[in-house]
């Protein structure tokens, strides 16, 4: 679950986009270095109008369209020329990067930097590549060098720089970068909370809690802070502690449906089924299009021996998300409790099929 409330949505929404980087996907625009931009654009326009696109420009277009093999063939031919045309090694590096061949990409970007020490895109991409190779300390100087001049062209490089700071425990530098990206004061409570969220994502729970506590010292009624502390408690299987934090969040942020969903989940884990049902009913009123409360209500009602009502909620969840194996598993339990063995068997098989499909894709 993402802990995003409407009160800080503008500051935290990009986490969902940025964190694709942490599972191995970085979106990098294919842009030429911004040197003598006005003259280059004018010359390129004149040359293209008179002679059509150059071989390097055509290779760039092929890369942009995802035609990597065709682009690679043209670039390999260009690489045999003496001197090698500018930009060829950078584009070869881009192709290797898109194929997750990071060692070859690193070598190509390094060659591009030797050819042109001011090729900021090659510098940044080598930094990103080193990060993907598990070398954040080596990546940082390159990313720092390229960050300011081309940050507006490629925000992903800025994000990777901040993540590298996290991984080498330069938390103040990471906080500064995130604050700049989201246009919030670097010493504000929101900035510390943002850093705490990112540390939690990077699996640094102790450091995450430290930053959230700092945020609450600055602003005791900061929305989302207790929500994150509750999630940290749940990650440690501390249901009672999670309840305390989510109840505190509810007092500060009573109109956020996710607060009630998380509170209901914590009550369920603490075996407080009646409280869980009440909290989840509140979640449904605020977020009727979210499957989470329906699933949790199904679990709570099964625990309370009300399989028929549980079935209604679970069928609603299944209608909203038929590919969720947990929903089918719970439906099987509900049907079994109602004596509908064939239906239960069908749902168990569906759950198994979905789970096997997910595992086969990993």
Lookup result for tokens 């092929």? 62
Give the pLDDT confidence score for residue 361 in this predicted structure: 83
Give the pLDDT confidence score for residue 206 in this predicted structure: 96
Asked whether residue 270 is domain-assigned, the answer is no
Task: Report whether 272 contacts 249 (CB < 8 A).
Answer: no
Chunk the chain into consecutive blocks of 10 residues (it has 362) and report each block's average pLDDT, rounded to whole numbers: 38 38 45 39 44 76 84 83 86 92 95 92 95 96 83 72 96 95 94 97 96 98 98 96 98 96 98 98 96 98 97 97 96 97 97 92 78
Asked whether residue 337 is domain-assigned, the answer is no
Asked whether residue 250 is domain-assigned, the answer is no
Asked whether residue 162 is domain-assigned, the answer is yes
CATH number of the domain encompassing residue 127: 1.25.40.10
Task: Report whether 227 contacts 253 (CB < 8 A).
Answer: yes
164: exposed, middle or buried (Cβ count in 10 Å: 0-12, 13-18, 19+): buried
Asked whether residue 223 is domain-assigned, the answer is no
Among 7, 9, 19, 4, which Cα is nearest to 182's? 9
**What is the radius of gyration, based on Cα positions, of the chain?**
26
Among 239, 168, 158, which Cα is nearest to 199's? 168
Give the pLDDT confidence score for residue 57 in this predicted structure: 81
Asked whether residue 347 is domain-assigned, the answer is no
Give the pLDDT confidence score for residue 5 in this predicted structure: 40
Residue 104 lies in domain:
15-27+60-168
* CA 128 – CA 267 distance, rounded (Å): 43
For the chain, the domain total comes to 1
Asked whether residue 21 is domain-assigned, the answer is yes
**Residues near 265 by Cβ (< 8 Å), separated by ≥ 6?**
234, 276, 296
Give the pLDDT confidence score for residue 66 in this predicted structure: 83
Give the pLDDT confidence score for residue 86 in this predicted structure: 84
Give the pLDDT confidence score for residue 140 in this predicted structure: 96
Task: Report whether 128 contacts 99 (CB < 8 A).
Answer: no
Asked whether residue 304 is domain-assigned, the answer is no
Supply φ then ψ for residue 154, to 5 degrees. Answer: -140, 90
DSSP 169: T
């Amino acid at each position: 679950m993402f802990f995003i409330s409407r009160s800080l949505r503008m500051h935290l929404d990009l986490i969902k986009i940025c964190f694709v980087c942490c599972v191995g996907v970085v979106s990098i625009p294919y842009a030429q270095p911004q040197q003598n931009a006005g003259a280059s654009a004018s010359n390129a326009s004149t040359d293209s109008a008179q002679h059509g696109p150059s071989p390097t420009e055509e290779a760039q277009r092929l890369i942009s369209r995802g035609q990597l093999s065709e682009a690679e063939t043209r670039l390999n031919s260009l690489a045999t020329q003496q001197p090698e045309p500018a930009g060829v090694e950078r584009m070869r590096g881009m192709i290797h990067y898109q194929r997750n061949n990071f060692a070859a990409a690193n070598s190509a970007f390094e060659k591009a930097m030797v050819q042109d020490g001011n090729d900021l895109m090659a510098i940044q991409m080598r930094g990103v590549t080193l990060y993907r190779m598990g070398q954040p300390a080596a990546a940082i100087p390159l990313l720092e060098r390229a960050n300011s001049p081309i940050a507006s062209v490629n925000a992903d490089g800025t994000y990777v720089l901040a993540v590298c700071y996290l991984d080498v425990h330069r938390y103040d530098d990471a906080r500064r970068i995130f604050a700049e990206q989201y246009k919030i004061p670097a010493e504000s409570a929101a900035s510390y909370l943002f850093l705490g969220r990112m540390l939690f994502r990077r699996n640094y729970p102790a450091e995450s809690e430290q930053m959230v506590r700092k945020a609450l010292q600055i602003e005791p009624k900061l929305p989302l802070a207790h929500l994150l502390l509750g999630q940290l408690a749940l990650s440690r299987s501390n249901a009672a502690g999670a309840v305390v934090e989510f109840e505190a969040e509810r007092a500060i942020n009573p109109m956020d449906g996710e607060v009630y969903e998380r509170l209901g989940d914590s009550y369920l884990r603490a075996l407080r089924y009646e409280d869980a049902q009440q909290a989840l009913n509140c979640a449904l009123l605020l977020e009727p299009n979210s499957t989470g409360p329906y699933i949790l209500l199904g679990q709570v009602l099964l625990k309370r021996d009300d399989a028929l009502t549980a079935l209604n909620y679970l069928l609603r969840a299944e209608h909203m998300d038929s590919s969720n194996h947990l929903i089918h598993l719970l439906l099987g339990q509900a049907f079994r409790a109602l004596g509908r063995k064939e239906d239960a068997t069908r749902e168990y098989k569906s759950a198994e099929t979905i789970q096997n499909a997910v595992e086969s894709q990993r």
